Amino acid sequence: MSLNRQIPGKPVVPSNRRLPNHVPIGRKAGRMPAPQGNRSVPCRVLIGLTAVNLMVGSPVLAQQRTPDFVNIRKTNLAGIDRNNVEAWVAEQMQQLFAAKDDKAVQTQGLAFLNTVTTHVKDTSATEGFRTGMAGIVADGFIKSYKAAPVDRRPLAAVYLLLTLQQIVEAAQPAQAPQNLVDAFTLALADPTAGARTMGATGLSTLREKFTQPQWTALLPVIQRAAPDEPNEVALDRMYRLLMV
């Protein structure tokens, strides 16, 4: 008698139980399962793995593709191109601040630095692209820095600030954008000397582009930070900023 025999008036309800000899219901008992090496992954397994990866935020599935900077740098960085670049920058920063060892930070930090600086310094890059990248990286740094875990690796902020510094040098803005000033100022209170040094260096680069209100707001911050700065290099950068 078939276990799948339909009872009149009732639909067949498939059973997931297995017989004692482990032969799936509905399979002929004499048929041997295919060798493991020749068995393809069932579709339901692939669907299940995909669902799990989506729920846990798999880095492979969530990873943003590197934008087509070769062509984007020739534009004014607007629309879908800007959205893609913003998403990529945000992901790169989140991963850097989440990294648990310095080697991983160094590898990804250098890759990010090289990718961004290569394109902002290319002769085909437009002013709109450079200015746009400066704003995106500055805004991204402020947001990710404030949300970063307390045990973040020190080099993460250093690489991002160095990248921002290189963009500023390439963009040469006529005035100091406030988000750039805020990003570098934020670094002055970082617990690591490297980040504080890069913060003061970035502000020095923008010093001649400050508006009077910007300088008036920044001056007391530097005056408070400099006397307590234990690192000679960071202190030198702060005093240079005051003397410009």
Position 64 scores a pLDDT of 75
CB 198 within 8 A of CB 155: no
3-state SS, the chain, equals CCCCCCCCCCCCCCCCCECCCCCECCCCCCCCCCCHHHCCCCHHHHHHHHHHHHHHCCHHHHCCCCCCHHHHCCCCCCHHHHHHHHHHHHHHHHHHHHCCCHHHHHHHHHHHHHHHHHHHCCCCCCHHHHHHHHHHHHHHHHHHHHHCCCCCCHHHHHHHHHHHHHHHHHHCCCCCCHHHHHHHHHHCCCCCHHHHHHHHHHHHHHHHHCCHHHHHHHHHHHHHHHHHCCCHHHHHHHHHHHHC
Q: Is residue 173 part of a domain?
A: yes
More confident residue, 238 or 62: 238
Whether the pLDDT of residue 92 is over 80: the answer is yes
Gap between the Cα atoms of 164 and 180, Å rounded: 8
Which one is predicted more confidently, 214 or 35?
A: 214
pLDDT > 90: what percent of the chain? 70
Residue 63 maps to a domain: no
pLDDT at 63: 67
CA quadruple 77, 109, 104, 140: dihedral sign: negative
4 within some domain: no
Q: Judge whether 190 lies within some domain.
A: yes
Q: Flag whether 187 is in a domain.
A: yes
For the stretch 163-200, pLDDT in tens is 999 999 999 999 999 999 999 999 999 999 999 999 99
Q: How confident is the model at residue 68 (pLDDT cuts 50, 70, 90)?
A: very high
- Say yes or no to pLDDT of 44 above 70: no
Residue 45 within a domain: no
The answer to whether the beta carbons of residues 127 and 173 sit under 8 Å apart is: no
In a domain, 36, yes or no: no
Cβ atoms of 171 and 130 within 8 Å: the answer is yes
Answer yes or no: pTM beyond 0.75. Answer: no
Structural domain contains residue 83? yes
Which CATH number covers residue 226? Answer: 1.25.10
Confirm if 167 and 130 have CB atoms less than 8 A apart. yes
The burial class, CB within 10 Å (0-12 / 13-18 / 19+), for 7 is: exposed
Distance separating alpha carbons of residues 204 and 118, to the nearest angstrom: 23
**Residue 165 confidence (pLDDT):** 96
What's the mean pLDDT in 116-121? 98
Domain that holds residue 100: 68-243
User: Comparing 3-7, 74-78, 93-97, which segment has the lowest mean pLDDT?
Assistant: 3-7
Q: Rounded distance, CA 177 to CA 132, Å? A: 11
When divided into structural domains, the chain yields a total of 1
Question: Confidence class of residue 45 from pLDDT cuts 50, 70 and 90?
Answer: very low
Q: How far is CA 189 from CA 18, 116, 133, 144, 184, in A?
A: 64, 25, 24, 16, 10
